[in-house]
Chains A and B, each alone.
Chain A
């Protein structure tokens, strides 16, 4: 007779796996990648390829020779980190800077904490912020869209948020608006900005795909976007001369990319739905505070990293509602 396997229940398992989730997110990024390549051409292709390949390579090298553990460079998570890092860099960033960003993202933000599942801060964002602080000029010279065959030699300009920030020092919102692309162009991504963050509509398509596939839940992206909309809306109603309208804030900068992809990173976001909502509202509030009152035109990256730091605390104190706490008899 056959030997029988004896193991505890359950004896069935889902088909989902870590790679299937990672590649699901990667698939959802394809529309935005397509739009970015359309606007930024060869530069986007180079930055993305270098970022992805460096992240995978660094993960492999570190696991193989430094940590001496089983390598997991092909599980999709390094690829995803590389893709997201490329998305939040200008498409004209020199190669070697991209590689430094990838090394910081994978090597420092992820591997020093023990690899996948153990990092506190979002690796792609850590890589981006490192580059942003180290190379402030290169990281704020945004290529103008439509220069297909240009890479580091592309003509550059300021982002809509940058124009707004600078303009508000001397002018009112109404005077600045004509200098900016129309809302339709902002929605389509025809503007200056980090390569993958410009196309709001493509990122929203990605979000719908992620929600439909149940890869993420609505709690984090909707609470961030909702908070930013409400907060900027209140400011705008209070003084439309000093504060841009909420739609402008929704469509510009890294808000969509951050809310949909960076803040929803499994490892660095809270475990309970209530925790996710607090986290999302917090990111929204800090984003607006930095954008409107801070020194930088854009604040999503810092807001997310700050609340990444709060995640363990939220996990400790915000618990899901247990079954059977409320006794309702009749």
Chain B
């Protein structure tokens, strides 16, 4: 049987899932956490606490401030030290709440038991409201506020809910372990999302390099409307346009969203967080983070409170190796290199990856030999070699015609280039310029 996958482009980098099968481990609380007010796409939340306030675990500390925004809760109990600018994973200083951890006192209305609660009397609107209240955002990395995604724009209909359990980034195993260890909660969460969205059909896509997760999720969803679909291993299958195409053979139009073809996509982590929020009244204050790397002593999957410093996580995984050259927030293909380890884990952090010196060095850039590999691997059907040349020469209008804005920045082109050309670097540069041109055109 040949497995489904997306039809255009793609690469297969070494999977390096070092922490696959390593149980999700709870780690001791750090002494201080820093909880940024902007952990999601959209407007930063409005802070509700001030210096000296006592907070409990799960207490609302910042409120949604706009249509595309969400709530933020304290992940620990203790005293607010400061509401100030702190560097986040982008390297920029942004507003955040710093809390001194004291004990572990939770809000009384949170159900902390392990009991499975399945039946709900909640209606569609209640589910969305709960998700906003609990601060649920897309945990795949884009961190778009999830309750907004459940509101289908007028004129469009949702037909399918697709759950992304692909985890196509090398090294990362957080989603895999979540599926293996919390299948029933996940299935319940998917059912809640289906109800919140008002669809009858859901498909959970999992790449075939996670046979245990596929088996366990099939078992957990066998008497439901949730279909589990094994997919051929191919990067970037976790990109939502690629996943929709792989599962349903529907192409999201250029510049469009999955809802344009009747689909809404959520990550498995989001489905789990939805279950916790709706059924257990538990806001999004912790998530599973993979800490991995070839030189790391103990590649692990940790259940981490939001705001925990990255350096603390690395300590828990055996400490930062001497020969570390790069620390990545995310996976090797799309993750962002950190400039400092004193930055907090946020809702969107799926992994911390340690890269050794010899793996970090970029190779010497050679001339393009027109081997066509970049064109062949581009999942969006673009011509990266051409876009790079146009970007170098400042031909931004031409780049726009060549559909540069369709680029999902998966990095397959740069990955595959035998001349080690920094294709994506230049394409990003061009995208920024084209974006400026498009905005200025709108402003006129």
B329 to chain A, nearest CB (A): 10
B179 within 8 A of A: no
CB distance from B283 to the nearest CB of A (A): 30
Q: Are A323 and B418 in contact (CB under 8 A)?
A: no
The B354-408 residues at the A interface (CB cut-off 8 A) are: 355, 359-360, 362-363, 366-373, 375-376, 378-383, 385-386, 403, 406
Are the C-beta atoms of A324 and B251 separated by less than 8 Å? yes
CB-CB < 8 A to A184: which residues of B?
A: none
CB-contact partner of A267 in B253, B366, B370, under 8 A: B370
A170 on interface, CB distance cutoff 8 Å? no
How many of A's residues come within 8 Å of B, CB to CB? Answer: 45
Our pick among A5, A10, A322, A326 for the contact of B360 (Cβ within 8 Å) is A5
Contact residue among A18, A271, A273 (Cβ-Cβ distance under 8 Å from B419) = A18
**Stretch of B107-115, B299-307, B336-344 with 4 or more beta carbons under 8 angstroms from chain A:** B336-344
Task: List 14 interface pairs A-B (beta carbons < 8 Å), by A numbering.
Answer: A4-B326, A12-B170, A13-B362, A14-B415, A16-B418, A17-B418, A17-B419, A17-B420, A18-B369, A77-B369, A116-B366, A266-B369, A322-B406, A323-B379
Q: Would A322 and B254 count as touching, CB distance under 8 A?
A: yes
Cβ-defined contact, B372 with A266, below 8 A: yes
Quick one: closest B residue to A311, CB to CB? Answer: B370
Instruction: Decide yes or no whether A115 CB sits under 8 A from chain B.
Output: yes
Extra contacts, 15 of them, besides A9-B332, A17-B418 (Cβ < 8 A), are A4-B326, A10-B333, A10-B414, A10-B415, A13-B362, A13-B415, A14-B415, A14-B416, A117-B369, A266-B369, A271-B385, A273-B376, A324-B254, A327-B261, A329-B250
Task: Please tell me if the beta carbons of B411 and A9 are within 8 angstroms of each other in the complex.
Answer: yes
Contact A7 B337 (CB under 8 A): yes
CB distance from A156 to the nearest CB of B (A): 38
The distance in angstroms between the C-alpha atoms of A77 and B369, with both chains bound, is 10
Which residues B254-270 have CB closer than 8 A to chain A? 254-256, 260-262
Contact partners of A329 in chain B: CB under 8 A: 250, 260-262
0/1 per residue, A298-330, Cβ < 8 Å to B? 000000000000000001000111111111111
* Closest residue on chain B to residue A2 by CB atoms: B324
A319–B383 CA distance with the chains assembled, in angstroms: 8
In-complex Cβ contact of A18 among B11, B333, B340, B366 (8 A): B366
Majority SS of interface residues in chain B? loop
Encode contact with B along A13-34: 1 for CB under 8 Å, 0 otherwise: 1101110110000000000000
Contact present for A13 and B381 (CB under 8 Å): no
State whether the Cβ of A1 lies closer than 8 Å to any Cβ in chain B: yes
Contact of A8 among B366, B369, B372, B428 (CB under 8 A): B428
**Given A11-B326, A12-B170, A325-B254: A4 and B406 interface contact (C-beta under 8 Å):** no
Picked from B363, B367, B416, B424, the residue with its CB within 8 Å of the CB of A116 is: B367
| Interface status of A118 (Cβ within 8 A of chain B) | yes
Determine whether A149 belongs to the interface, using a CB cutoff of 8 Å to chain B.
no
Instruction: Decide: A328 and B250 in contact? CB cutoff 8 A.
Output: yes
Residue A172 at the B interface, CB < 8 A?
A: no
Query: In the complex the two chains form, is A322's CB within 8 Å of B334's CB?
Result: no
- Residues of A within 8 Å of B411, CB to CB, are 9-10
Residues of A close to B414: CB separation below 8 A = 10, 13
Cβ of A66 under 8 Å from chain B: no
CB interface residues, A 232-288, toward B, < 8 Å = 266-267, 269, 271-273
Tell me if B26 is interfacial: C-beta within 8 Å of chain A: no
Q: Tell yes or no: A6 within 8 A of B by CB.
A: yes
Bound complex: CA A115 to CA B419 (Å): 14
Query: Nearest chain A CB to B61's CB is how many angstroms away?
Result: 30
Interface positions, chain B 339-355, Cβ under 8 Å from A, are 339-341, 353, 355
